[in-house]
Amino acid sequence: MVWGSMIAWYLFLAGASAGAFLTSAFVEAKYPDSVKMRVAGRIISPIFLGIGLLMLMLDAEAGLHNPLRFFYLIMNPGSVMTLGVYFICVFMPVSIAAALLEVLRRPVPKWLTWTGIVSAFCVAAYTGFLLGVVSAYPLWNNAILPVLFVVSALSAGLAATSLVGLITDRERFEQMWLIKKSHVILSAIEMVVLATMLIIVSSGSPEGAASVASLVSGQYAPMFWGGLVLLGLVAPFAIEGYPVFVTRKGTVNNLAQIPAGDRQPSA
């Protein structure tokens, strides 16, 4: 079976879904008053995963034409795809249940949140392992790819949840420095992991060197440098990094220069 573009979107949306759930859990722990952003992450998670699974079914036509193949898949626990099905079968109902409880304004039990956290990490890592077992592509077949996918999932889910938080509750979101700093750090880690992976793959074999060359200087170079590096990594790093490390630093320095007697007491 040849994987098409819908599979790529499925992998991205599955990772972003996991990242959105993890972001909502983080917001719940660190910013319990930021209800809108927490709810946004919980709702985004099952929506993203549902769209991704729909794309997977449409692209992998054999699953529609021969439903029995699904049962063969779940009976092969040695397969990465089978493990992925197990993880999704846990994560999907958990994320739906958490979203419904939020919509109904009911408390989400701690055990449900922790089940979602563990299964979300598993789903994020599985997308990387799924590509990692494809030995025909050196750029995929390496141990660093799952790490890159986990970091990318966290970053994408955090970005989607933050965007909704910015729109629905801008004033509160502007005070969530830990969220902004986390996004900057994730972008930096993602750049380092990506560069490390390309160096290792390029130096591992002639085929790996050719694969990396086609990505950074060949036919895929415009998408790689313009889409992934510039728009996906550098832009978020700069946009989030400036207010976190420059604007806030200036604000702190200005406050430090004000005599203690001149400062207004906090409410």
* pLDDT per position as a tens digit, 245-261: 766 554 444 444 444 44
* Residue 69 confidence class, pLDDT cut points 50, 70, 90: low
Q: What pLDDT is stored for residue 266 in this prediction?
A: 42
User: What is the pLDDT of the chain when averaged over all its residues?
Assistant: 82
Q: What pLDDT is stored for residue 24 in this prediction?
A: 95
Residue 22 pLDDT greater than 80, yes or no:
yes
Residue 70 pLDDT greater than 70, yes or no:
no
Q: Greater confidence, 66 or 213?
A: 213
Residue 61 pLDDT greater than 90, yes or no:
no
Lowest mean pLDDT across 134-143, 227-236, 248-257: 248-257
Q: What pLDDT is stored for residue 5 in this prediction?
A: 67
Residue listed under structure tokens 């990506």: 194
> Which one-letter amino acid corresponds to residue 176?
M
Q: What pLDDT is stored for residue 88 in this prediction?
A: 92
Residue listed under structure tokens 């978020």: 236
Q: What pLDDT is stored for residue 249 in this prediction?
A: 54
Q: What pLDDT is stored for residue 99 in this prediction?
A: 96
Mean pLDDT over 101-126 rounds to 93
Q: What pLDDT is stored for residue 265 in this prediction?
A: 46
Q: What pLDDT is stored for residue 260 in this prediction?
A: 45
Lowest mean pLDDT across 135-139, 144-148, 150-154, 210-214: 135-139
Q: What pLDDT is stored for residue 41 in this prediction?
A: 94
- Global pTM reads 0.81
Asked whether the CA dihedral 113, 46, 86, 10 is positive or negative, the reply is negative
Q: What pLDDT is stored for residue 72 in this prediction?
A: 65
Q: Between the ranges 63-67, 76-80, 225-229, where is the mean pLDDT highest?
A: 225-229
Query: Taking Cα atoms as reference points, which of 41, 39, 47 lies closest to residue 19?
Result: 41
Q: What pLDDT is stored for residue 104 in this prediction?
A: 94
Mean pLDDT over 194-220 rounds to 87
Residue listed under structure tokens 């946009």: 239
Residue 178 pLDDT greater than 70, yes or no:
yes
DSSP string, 109-125: PHHHHHHHHHHHHHHHH
Q: What pLDDT is stored for residue 96 in this prediction?
A: 97
Q: What pLDDT is stored for residue 47 in this prediction?
A: 96
- Where are the domains positioned within the chain? 5-253
Q: What pLDDT is stored for residue 91 in this prediction?
A: 96
> According to CATH, what is the number of the domain 5-253?
1.20.1630
As to burial, measured by CB atoms within 10 angstroms (0-12 exposed, 13-18 middle, 19+ buried), residue 95 is: buried
d(CA 68, CA 74): 10
* Residue 59 confidence class, pLDDT cut points 50, 70, 90: low
Angle at 134 between CA 131 and CA 136, to 5 degrees: 135
